[in-house]
Structure formats: C-alpha cells, structure tokens
Amino acid sequence: SYKFWKTQPVPQFNEEGDKSRGGAIRMINLDEVPKDPYPLLDGFEWATIDPENETEVGELYELLSKHYVEDDDSTFRLTYSPVFLRWALTSPGWQKQWHIGVRASTSQKLVAFISGVPANISIHAQTVKVIEINFLCIHKRLRSKRLAPLLIREITRRCYLQGIYQAIYTAAAVLPTPVASCRYYHRPLNWLKLYETGFSHLPANSTKARQIAKYHLPSTTQTPGLRPMQADDLGAVHELLERYLQRFDISPTFSIDELRHWLFLEADRPKEGASKRVVWAFVVEHPETQEITDVVSFYAIESAALSHSQHNVIRTAYLYYYASTESTQNLQQRLQGLINDALISAKKAQFDVFNALRLQDNDLFLEKLRFGRGDGQLNYYLFNYRVNPVANENHSDCLDSQRPGGMGVIML
Ligand code: NHW
Ligand code: EN5
C-alpha cells in the first residue's frame, strides 16, 4: 500500500530515529526535474484553468460540484461557488500554470483538476515558502486509474521549476504522515433545517422544540465596538494577527496584500451581490481608545444535500482567522464573546451551521458555545519538510490552555 506515497519526500509511517531535526527531506537538483509535462493517459490532455475567465471557472465549478469531497456516507457534497473558486485561486503570486486541468481530447470536457497558490508559513519560527495544494478532483468515472499521482507529480514538477520545494495540504484521507489531525465541530444555527437534511439527528431524550431552543441566539452582537472590518483596518489587523498567530507551531505569515485578499474579497469585488459573498471579517474597535483589539472572520461554502430532502443545500460558515490582544487569563472569556458574535452574524446572514476545527485556541470556546463533534476529521500534511508532530486533539496539552494547539493554518 501507499505505492505512490512511498516514493515521495514525505515522512513515512514506519520512520524511526531522530525526529528532532526539522527541514527539507530531499534537496532538489533542477537538472533532474523533467522540462516537459508527464505523459497522460491516452485520449486526455493537460490544460490550465484561468480562474479569472468566467467560462473556465464555470467548467471547474461543474466538475467539483459533481465530483468533489463528500462526507463518509455521501449525505452531502461540498459545493464551492464560482466566486469562491476565483477568490481561492487568485491570491497574490498566483500563476495559471499551477491551476492544472485534464481534458478529454475529443470532447474537451474537464475531467480532473489540481491547484496550488503560493504562501509563506512559519514552522517553529522558520519561514518556509510553500505551495498550498487544494481542489484535487477526478471525475467519478476516471477513479482508481492512478491519475491522482500523475496530477501530483505534474504540479510538483511545475513548482520545482519555479523554485518552490515545499507544500502544505489538508485531506480527510489518511496518508503518510499527518503533522496534525483535527476533528470538525459544528454549531447549528438553523437546527430544524439541519435535522431535515440529515445533518443533525434528534437526540433520543430530546424534542424538536427543545433542540431549536437550545441553539437559539440573540439577534444582535454583544461585544462593545464590534463592527465589519474596513480597508483602513488592514494595518492594525495585520499586526494583530501576526502577533497572535505566533503562538502556534505552524502558522501563516501574511503580507498586507495577502491579508487584503484573504479578508477583503468584497472591497475588491464590490459589484457582487450579498448572496455571492464568500468572506466576512469583523473587528473590535475599543470604544475609548479606538484601538483594534480583536478580529474574527469566516467564509462560506454550500453543501449539496444528496439524499432525499426538502432542501437542496445547506449554507455553512467556516471559522477562518481570528485574533485577540487579550492576555492568557482573559482570553477564554474574550474568545467566547467574539466567536459568539461570529455565530450571531452568521445566523443573520442566513447560514444554517457554523463549522470549526479542533485547532488553534478553539478548545477555549467550542464546548461553551454548543459546537458538537462532527463525524469528519481533517489531516494536515507538509510535502518535503520534516517537523515534529504538533499538538492537536490527540494530545491533551491543548486542553488546559497552558499551551495552545499547534496548528495555526486554515485551508479553504
Ligand atoms: S483533499 C480533497 C481531495 N479530493 C477529493 O476527495 C474529491 C473526491 N475524490 C477524488 O476526486 C484537498 C479522487 O478520489 C482523488 C483520488 C482525486 C482524491 N490526497 O488516481 P488514484 C486536496 O485537494 C492517493 C493525496 O488511483 P482516485 C489536497 C492514494 O493514497 N493523495 O485514486 C490534495 C493513492 O496513492 P497510494 C491521495 O481515487 C493533496 C493514489 O492517490 C488523496 O482516482 C495532493 C490513488 O490514485 C488525497 N486526497 O483519485 C497532494 N486521495 O500511494 C499534494 C487518494 O496510496 C502533494 N490519494 O497508492 C504536494 C504537491 C506539490 C509539491 C510542490 C513542492
Ligand atoms: C481541503 N482543504 O466529512 C478540504 N464533513 O464533520 C477538503 N458531518 O459535515 C477535505 N454523515 O457531523 C474536507 N453532523 C473533509 C471534510 C469532508 C466532509 C465531512 C463532516 C465533518 C460533516 C456532519 C454531517 C454528517 C452527516 C452524516 C456532522 C453532526 C452535527 C451535530 C450538530 C449538533 C451537535 C452534534 C453534532
């Protein structure tokens, strides 16, 4: 097993010995990197997808909405919107050649895809330039033909040639070898709809009315000074996040431009209606000092309800980056208020459920704010980089808040 992954520069499951040395696993000799694309299955050809081209992003949306990730028992399939895909694939430094498609030669139909965008992450205080890999997808009729290893080899080749030798990616699949493994948690906002789609069950000892009451939220946010983030908050938010994210073993390092992109889609694309909005960001401006003391954000993905249901989709808000200036002893209370306001804002924007992973400082509020354990798990991976395993739910050391969770990167 792992016939492909065995050959790749990733830590293998059976590896032993000195794990204390972090760093590149393999040094890449550019002379040995092929200059031409790998040969593809007969009848198929390589293509690139331009996320700024509406037709092409529409083709990608079609592929993913039919063939991308489903939950364990295929009750739901993640449905990233075209606007979301454009946003996810055009962050600063993006290149068309890293958005790789496979087309059937005769019909020109898009049947497979993999993408990468460049980023810098900080691993135990070392800055590492990586490619963030996402949206790997193969048409259901082309599965199990070893096409995935080919897509991975091809994007690896194109990254090596551009001088990027490391990657980060997440997957529900268990591969050699996760650096972190995080459970999904879900906070119902519209419990009845979740029940009707099969997302939530009715606990044996409860009633629908009691479940609805349990998840009731106030209609307005509670933290004094909380307001939508604006363009002129960018500098303050950048400093705030930079300082806060340092507490994690692995965290992103954003430039101002990257932060503007990742938190500010709306300002960049003002014409899109509210229903197409994909990212929300709020700050807390101190009522007296006007200092920006906190930030919280979330993004939107729909899930298609696949089994018979009176609803077609559920709208999910995913907790994205947040930060606070609050000191350790007050952090728990502060975050509970801040994230509760994110729940209230998401409910107001008509989301059905609010998702978060068990990472960062999320243990400080998940239980209190009535998030429940999901049936899915997300594994984090690094390519061509060795690092000690970081704290996650398999370690109890992030529970007492003496030490925060080790993973600070959120991938879309
Ligand atoms: S995770 C979402 C992945 N997509 C889906 O789950 C969508 C539905 N499934 C499919 O489309 C987010 C197919 O089942 C896929 C596999 C395409 C998953 N990651 O072609 P074969 C991401 O996008 C291995 C990596 O026959 P298939 C992250 C598997 O272990 N590897 O299978 C993507 C086996 O290898 P092995 C995965 O079912 C990160 C081989 O693929 C995988 O037709 C990519 C079988 O291939 C997964 N999620 O297609 C890595 N799932 O060694 C980036 C299966 O066991 C690495 N496999 O024999 C870095 C590259 C850049 C480096 C730059 C320096
Ligand atoms: C690439 N960057 O498994 C990301 N979702 O728990 C791609 N479960 O929604 C990888 N099965 O538990 C994505 N409801 C990997 C995730 C794949 C999708 C996935 C899980 C995550 C999920 C839901 C629905 C389950 C339906 C049956 C779930 C329970 C919620 C309940 C609310 C009330 C309190 C108790 C829990």
**Could you report the per-residue pLDDT of 25-56, keeping only the tens digit for each?**
999 999 999 999 999 999 999 999 999 999 99
Q: Are 307 and 112 in contact (CB under 8 A)?
A: no
Supply 139's token pair: 């048409």
Residue that is last in its domain, among 134, 168, 202 = 168
**Do 228 and 161 share a structural domain?**
no
Longest dimension (CA), the chain: 67
CA 19/CA 342 separation, integer angstroms: 39
Nearest ligand by distance to the CA of 143: 1
Could you give the number of structural domains in the chain? 2
Q: How far is the CA of 146 from the centre of ligand 1 (A)?
A: 9
Ligand 2 atom with least separation from CA of 72 = 11
- Known active-site residue 382: no
CA 7/CA 367 separation, integer angstroms: 41
Summarize the confidence of residues 238-243 as an average pLDDT.
98
Among 80, 91, 408, which residue's Cα sits nearest to residue 260? 91
Output the average pLDDT for the chain. 94
pLDDT of residue 308: 82
CA 178/CA 406 separation, integer angstroms: 13
Which residues pair with residue 227 across a beta bridge? 283
pLDDT for 318-327, tens place per residue?
999 999 999 8
pLDDT of residue 41: 95
Residue that is last in its domain, among 141, 168, 195 = 168
pLDDT of residue 14: 83
| Residues at CB less than 6 angstroms from ligand 2 | 69, 71-73, 75, 134, 170-172, 184, 186, 188, 198-200, 372-376, 378, 411-412
Task: Evaluate whether residue 409 is within a structural domain.
Answer: no
Summarize the confidence of residues 274-302 as an average pLDDT.
95
Q: How far is the CA of 186 from the centre of ligand 2 (A)?
A: 8
Contact 376 CB / ligand 1 (< 6 Å) = no
- Residue in 41, 138, 166 to alter for ligand 1 test, most ligand atoms within 8 A of Cβ: 138
Among 111, 12, 11, 61, which residue's Cα sits nearest to residue 387? 11
pLDDT of residue 229: 97
CA 75/CA 189 separation, integer angstroms: 19
User: Is the pTM for the entire model greater than 0.90?
Assistant: yes
Q: How far is the CA of 198 from the centre of ligand 1 (A)?
A: 27
Residue nearest to atom 42 of ligand 1 (CA): 173
**Do 197 and 159 share a structural domain?**
no
The torsion angle over the Cα atoms of residues 331, 261, 380 and 404, rounded to 10 degrees, is -10
Supply 193's token pair: 């709809």
Task: Evaluate whether residue 271 is within a structural domain.
Answer: yes
**Do 339 and 271 share a structural domain?**
yes
Among 321, 317, 174, which residue's Cα sits nearest to residue 241? 321
Task: Evaluate whether residue 105 is within a structural domain.
Answer: yes
Residue that is last in its domain, among 112, 142, 168 = 168
401 has a pLDDT exceeding 80: no
364 has a pLDDT exceeding 50: yes
**Do 258 and 393 share a structural domain?**
yes
**Do 262 and 124 share a structural domain?**
no
- Interface predicted TM-score (ipTM) of this complex, two decimals: 0.99
Contact 169 CB / ligand 1 (< 6 Å) = yes
